[in-house]
Amino acid sequence: MKHKKMRQFLADHCLLAGEIQLSGGGTANFYFDCKRATLNGEFLTPLADWLLDEVAPALSPSPTLIGGPTLGADFIAAAAIMRATQRNLPLCRASIVRKEAKKHGTKSLIENEQPSGQQVLVVEDVITTGGSIAYACDELLAAGHKIAGIAAIIDREAGGKQKLETQYNAPVMALFTKSDFPELNG
Ligand SMILES: O=P(O)(O)OC[C@H]1O[C@H](OP(=O)(O)OP(=O)(O)O)[C@H](O)[C@@H]1O
Ligand SMILES: O=C(O)c1cc(=O)[nH]c(=O)[nH]1
């Protein structure tokens, strides 16, 4: 599935119209329910290949780890490291930042935490304010890692992308932006 088909998949299966509450506060009249895409192998496979073939190679220094905030990053990261392993590519590990540390067991905030000093490719499904990515970046930095780049399926063009680029001095790449969906104009 190439980009055109991924765009159509999102338009057909994920794009919701009508007033809806957003994670960062406020409301909007459209919403991308990207979990419907990242929990579907037909979309997830080309998404992982986009990360491995177009995003990771464009970053310097090269990423050594995939990371991101649960829940948005979970399936994307898992798919990317599985495809990397199948394809004999080096990006075969991921760390996921929980919304809060576990209260039992390992008490982890970062699952599968890696030795400090990793160059992290942070992944997420949607960027609106960028708050959820910023939270994960801050925790990864606090764990001693660097932010090599940030990638998301959708940039809602609400200012989050620019904010993240400035805050983390790292490239932010989105597979699609709100403008790629003329369906939103009626
Ligand atoms: O750029 P932001 O303003 O942070 O908004 C985008 C975030 O909102 C959604 O997550 P949500 O908070 O719904 O949590 P979930 O992914 O765990 O369902 C989405 O998956 C992004 O993580
Ligand atoms: O800002 C959000 O909360 C948000 C917007 C969107 O389009 N999709 C999503 O999952 N979250």
> Per-domain residue ranges for the chain?
3-185
Each residue of 105-114: pLDDT tens digit? 999 999 999 9
Each residue of 7-36: pLDDT tens digit? 999 999 999 999 999 999 999 999 999 999
- Ligand closest to 16 (CA) is 2
ipTM exceeding 0.90, yes/no: yes
Residue to mutate, 32, 99, 184, ligand 2, most ligand atoms under 8 Å from C-beta:
32
Q: At how many degrees (to 10) do helices 3-13 and 41-50 cross?
A: 140
Question: Does the 3-185 domain belong in CATH 3.40.50.2020?
Answer: yes
CA 28–ligand 2 middle distance (angstroms)? 9
